[in-house]
Amino acid sequence: MSTQNKPAQGWEDDIYDCFVRHNISQIPYVPDAGHAHLIRRVHDTPQMHPIVLTTEEEGVASSCGAWLGGQKSVLLMQSSGVGNCINMLSLVSNCNFPFVTIVSMRGEWGEFNHWQVPMSRATPGSFDLMGIDVKRCDSPEDVAPTVDAALYAAFASEQKIAILLSQRLIGRKEW
């Protein structure tokens, strides 16, 4: 598999810089090519604890546990995993935990895999139904200010925010 039309990695470094600035110490994730550069940076940083998950809903619980332990966490996942989290997101709402997830979108611009399309269409509405505020980044210039504002809002006032990274931003995949 190759990624076509993939922009420079600068916006992924912007996310990493926001993690550093906001003292994000735990980063649960399901391995994903859209987050690969960021995940490598997290693994290379001793102050950050990457947590490899077997399924995305574990990341919701992990993020809540991090907050209870006095640490900040951001869940990284792909849009295809959002549906796995719906029931677990009730924990975020019922217990009023701050929550941030950064979602690499599939099933959009130039998608080759038709199985990705339905969950891509349902992702924003799924978060909305669970009380999670949705922000979207369509260009590299959107990323740093959106992630910075989301991290501040979540951890300063216990907001719940999902940041969607458009497939156009990440780049089209081809088999």
* pLDDT attached to residue 106: 73
Report how far residue 20's alpha carbon sits from residue 23's, in angstroms, rounded to the nearest whole number.
Answer: 5
| pTM of the predicted model over 0.85 | yes
78-104 residue pLDDT tens: 988 899 999 999 999 999 999 999 998
Question: What dihedral do alpha carbons 146, 123, 81, 175 form, nearest 10°?
Answer: -90
Sorted by sequence, the CB contacts under 8 Å of residue 49 that are 6+ apart come out as 25, 26, 27
Q: Give the integer Cα–Cα distance in Å for 60 and 88.
A: 7
**CATH number, domain 2-174, options 3.40.50.300, 3.40.50.970, 3.30.465.10, 3.40.630.10:** 3.40.50.970
The CA distance from 125 to 131, in Å, is 10
Alpha-carbon distance 172 to 7, whole Å? 10
CB count within 10 Å of CB 55 equals 12
d(CA 24, CA 138) in angstroms, rounded, equals: 24
Give the residue-averaged pLDDT of 1-22: 75
Q: Does residue 13 carry a pLDDT above 70?
A: yes
Residue 3 is predicted with a pLDDT of 45
pLDDT tens-digit series, residues 91-140: 999 999 999 999 988 757 765 666 665 666 768 889 999 999 999 999 99
pLDDT tens track for 19-78? 999 999 999 999 988 899 999 999 999 999 999 999 999 999 999 999 999 999 999 999
- The radius of gyration computed from the CA coordinates of the chain, to the nearest angstrom, equals 15
What pLDDT does 7 receive? 44
User: How is residue 31 written in tokens?
Assistant: 């391995």
Are 145 and 78 in contact by the 8 Å Cβ rule? The answer is no
